[in-house]
């Protein structure tokens, strides 16, 4: 986080107009490259660790502090938002790379590797732009990026609440949206209004710089941010309750034979407030499956790989293997469940059950997570089957008075035996 704050401070102090008008990501690469030349490997790796757990709110707070403290700052607000967007996306990139183990400091020492880390993280759209020509919606805040393009929050003076706009800035993804527009709209409308699925508003593929989806905006951040945020500074939510809500939304989709295909904490959002609700977002890769055809096994591995690698099942890497798409969603949900319990965005180790036990998780709940991550023959068939199994889930640990003996783990293990 120190490095991110230093970057904001340095950019706020820039006095060269040519630098301000140039590429922000090029400026970041240049500054970070110079910083690594005078920093030890230990210092760089310590910074990588800090960046991996920084939240979007932390980054925006650091930006506000740096720019507000410099009364002579010449950086336009749109350029400030570009730098904020780059820092948001860099932090997520570091976090995802760190999920597979400690990230090597060579990424920051090598300009080429640093460019790879920052590849595609500079927003194409800009703060203050209209969503499309003659649109009343104005881009205000960059929310994130993915392989498809970027997401922004926009406001409309004549509308009471903001909306989220997902722009397909990548040429291939834009062509995909144009080709799949009718089926995608049908899928999103078929989902209807559900308490735990983000509402779909509109899709536009013509007469705009980039095709886009318009969606309900939730201001509470993502589940990924909640996981990495300090426990004292986040809304109080029980992993059990989070999973119940996610499974409820996903089961409703699976009941309509709609699979999500990119379940991950970044695509699970929170409403604002001290008691937030959970909603599944980004059904942009969703697909309608025919459960009667081939027993629902419709995706050939490798040929049909979509989604995020960390959350894909092992069979996705096996050439020619047919997979049940709903089971891919269940596997991804098992990874999310594990990450919720351990409080980290990481790949479950081989002995993940022992790691879960070290977090005081009961045997029955560990068994449910194991079935989510099991071989397809033993894995839950879909989210509806998992939802049915959650009805006998052991209650979470509750607070107890200091000084009283805490025997909850014994009671929970006993309840676990009743749930089998």
Specify binding-site residues for ATP.
Answer: 166
Find out whether 345 and 265 touch, Cβ atoms under 8 Å.
yes
Q: Which residues of 58-69 are buried (b: 16+ CB within 10 A; e: fewer)?
A: bbeebbeebbee
Joined together, the tokens standing for residue 216 give 């309900």
Residues contacting 184, CB < 8 A, separation 6+: 177, 203, 284, 286
CA 128 and chain centroid, separation: 25
**What count of residues does the chain have?**
420
Binding-site residue ranges: 166
Q: 3 with 48: CB under 8 angstroms?
A: no
Yes or no: say if 5 and 91 are a contact pair by the CB < 8 Å rule: no
Element (H, E) at 238: none
- Which residue(s) pair with 366 in the sheet? none
Element (H, E) at 300: strand 299-300
Q: How many Å apart are CA 83 and CA 357, to the nearest integer?
A: 41
Cα separation, 290 vs 282, in Å, equals 21
**What is the rounded CA–CA span in Å between residue 63 and residue 83?**
9
Alpha carbon distance 326, 346 (integer Å): 22
382 DSSP 8-state letter:
S
384/394 Cα distance (integer angstroms): 19
Query: For residues 39 and 43, what is the distance between their CA atoms, to the nearest angstrom?
Result: 6
Environment class of 81 (CB within 10 Å of its CB; exposed 0-12, middle 13-18, buried 19+): buried
**Short-list 369, 355, 362, CA closest to 418:** 362
How far apart, in whole angstroms, are the C-alpha atoms of residue 394 and residue 392? 6
């Amino acid at each position: 986080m120190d490095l991110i704050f230093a970057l904001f401070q340095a950019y706020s102090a820039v006095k060269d107009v040519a630098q301000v008008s140039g590429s922000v990501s090029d400026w970041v690469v240049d500054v970070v490259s110079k910083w690594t030349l005078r920093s030890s490997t230990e210092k760089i790796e310590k910074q990588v660790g800090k960046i991996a757990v920084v939240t979007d709110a932390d980054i925006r707070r650091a930006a506000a502090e740096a720019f507000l403290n410099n009364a002579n700052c010449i950086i336009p607000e749109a350029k400030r938002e570009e730098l904020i967007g780059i820092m948001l996306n860099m932090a997520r990139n570091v976090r995802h790379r760190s999920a597979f183990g400690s990230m090597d400091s060579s990424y920051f020492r090598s300009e080429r590797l640093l460019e790879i880390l920052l590849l595609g993280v500079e927003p194409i759209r800009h703060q203050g732009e209209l969503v499309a020509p003659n649109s009343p919606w104005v881009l205000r805040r960059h929310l994130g990026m993915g392989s498809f393009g970027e997401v922004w929050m926009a406001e409309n003076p004549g509308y009471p609440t903001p909306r989220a706009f997902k722009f397909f800035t990548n040429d291939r993804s834009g062509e995909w949206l144009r080709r799949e527009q009718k089926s995608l709209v049908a899928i999103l409308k078929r989902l209807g209004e559900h308490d735990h699925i983000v509402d779909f508003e509109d899709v536009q593929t013509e007469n705009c710089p980039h095709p886009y989806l318009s969606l309900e905006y939730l201001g509470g951040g993502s589940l990924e941010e909640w996981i990495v945020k300090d426990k004292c500074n986040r809304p109080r939510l029980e992993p059990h309750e989070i999973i119940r809500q996610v499974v409820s939304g996903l089961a409703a989709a699976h009941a309509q034979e709609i699979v999500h295909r990119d379940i991950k904490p970044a695509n699970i959002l929170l409403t604002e407030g001290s008691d937030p609700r959970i909603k599944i977002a980004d059904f942009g890769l969703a697909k309608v499956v025919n459960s009667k055809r081939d027993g629902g096994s419709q995706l050939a591995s490798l040929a049909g790989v979509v989604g995020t690698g960390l959350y894909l099942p092992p069979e996705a890497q096996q050439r020619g293997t047919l997979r049940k798409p709903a089971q891919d969603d269940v596997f991804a949900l098992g990874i999310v469940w594990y990450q919720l319990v351990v409080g980290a965005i990481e790949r479950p180790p081989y002995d993940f059950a022992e790691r879960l036990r070290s977090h005081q998780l009961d045997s029955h709940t560990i068994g449910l997570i194991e079935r989510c991550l099991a071989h397809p023959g033993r894995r839950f068939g879909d989210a509806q089957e998992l939802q049915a199994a959650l009805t006998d889930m052991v209650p979470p640990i509750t607070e107890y008075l200091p000084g009283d003996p805490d025997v909850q783990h014994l009671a929970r293990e006993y309840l676990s035996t009743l749930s089998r």
